[in-house]
Copies of this chain bind each other. A is one copy, B any other.
Amino acid sequence: MGEKITIGIIGAGRIGRLHAENIVHIPKVRIKAISDIFIENVKEWAHQIGIESVTADYHDILNDPEIDAVLVCSPTSTHVAIIREAAGAGKYIFCEKPISFSVEETKEVLEVVKEAGVKLQVGFNRRFDPNFKKVHDTVREDTIGEVHIVKITSRDPEPPSAEYIKNSGGLFFDMAIHDYDMARYVTGSEVEEVYVQAANLVDPVIGELGDIDTAFTVLKFENGALGVIDNSRKAVYGYDQRLEVFGAKGSVTAQNEHPTNVEISTADGVLKDTLKHFFLDRYKDAYMNETHAFIDSVLYDKPLVCRGNDGLQAELIAKAAKESFETKKPVKINRETSRSF
């Protein structure tokens, strides 16, 4: 591309605004427009940070020939349609995860993106967390040798509202999907087989909505490695996000982050802070880094760290996890054509 990139943002909710604030002052970036159906709430904020125009209709963004790239931050149910149109308009696309709740729809829209020849980055922000990235790099540099075991701990500080759960796609598609992506990212291998053992232990309301809140997902990778992810919707001590990769020559682990490194020693023991609680706080740098990487990718034609196929593969694992939970059996993933993305 040229010297500068002009961006439009579709959706000005929590994440859309975060991305805007993270990139608006990068010298080579111009955020020309942002769209949101609740336009009145957005205007003052957009003006303050220097976004030029605000619109209720995202087509204004897609139809603007000056805009090179769009960030799709609207609800998941709208992703497929918007990506399809954006690809048709020749825009580069950053899309929040998941692409959709349907593996079939995701495949179809990735086909469209492929034919349009535009770049698509999926918002698996954790790949850009400095801790997890260092784990990934350490594995790639062969410091720990051939990978044997991957363990991911991923627990939210508190469950979302019942309303949220209803539309979330369930724990596997909403929450564990981040961890499925992380497992692929750090091993560099596809998942071959999935087994789930899960339960409703945190809150009976979640069970009544047909979802679970506590789960193990056991993974078998194509390269022979084994993985296990444990998810819980409620860790009272904070947002518990750990990663361990174990191999023939050692292991590498990412420990949790605390708001401070202060230790208080009294006759009762040595006390440290609970973990960082809020995901935007825990992954502050990751969100910053992922949009910077997208912009660099567009400006300098660097390879994408997280492509459309990564979104699809994580969905395939989530789908298999759901099936394993329902059938109480290990489930093999049928990948056939999916690699072409």
A201 at interface by CB-CB < 8 Å: yes
Q: Which residue of B lies closest to A138 (CB)?
A: B264
Residue in contact with A131 in the complex, picked from B228, B260, B268, B271, CB distance below 8 Å: B260
Residues of B within 8 A of A237 (CB): 250-251, 265-267, 269-270
Q: How far is the CB of A336 from chain B (nearest CB, A)?
A: 22
Q: Which residue of B lies closest to A203 (CB)?
A: B248
Q: Which residue of B lies closest to A330 (CB)?
A: B328
Residues of B within 8 A of A49 (CB): 25
Residue in contact with A232 in the complex, picked from B218, B240, B246, B330, CB distance below 8 Å: B246
* A144 and B265 alpha carbons, distance in the complex (Å): 8
Residue in contact with A260 in the complex, picked from B195, B201, B248, B254, CB distance below 8 Å: B254
The oligomer's copy count stands at 4
> Once the chains bind, are B235 and A214 in contact (CB under 8 Å)?
no
Q: How far is the CB of A65 from chain B (nearest CB, A)?
A: 24
Residue in contact with A266 in the complex, picked from B143, B197, B240, CB distance below 8 Å: B143
> Once the chains bind, are B216 and A226 in contact (CB under 8 Å)?
yes
* A155 and B226 alpha carbons, distance in the complex (Å): 15
A274 at interface by CB-CB < 8 Å: yes
Q: At the interface with chain B, which of A77-85, A146-154, A171-179?
A: A146-154
Residue in contact with A199 in the complex, picked from B199, B226, B238, B268, CB distance below 8 Å: B226
Residue in contact with A249 in the complex, picked from B236, B251, B252, B258, CB distance below 8 Å: B236
* A281 and B267 alpha carbons, distance in the complex (Å): 18
Q: How far is the CB of A246 from chain B (nearest CB, A)?
A: 7
> Once the chains bind, are B274 and A273 in contact (CB under 8 Å)?
no
> Once the chains bind, are A214 and B195 in contact (CB under 8 Å)?
no
A107 at interface by CB-CB < 8 Å: no
A337 at interface by CB-CB < 8 Å: no
> Once the chains bind, are A236 and B25 in contact (CB under 8 Å)?
no
**Known A199-B226, A214-B226, A252-B264; 15 more pairs at CB < 8 Å:** A138-B262, A148-B199, A148-B214, A149-B214, A195-B197, A195-B330, A197-B220, A201-B248, A216-B226, A236-B267, A240-B251, A252-B263, A253-B265, A266-B274, A329-B330
3 A-B pairs with least C-beta separation: A250-B266, A237-B265, A255-B261
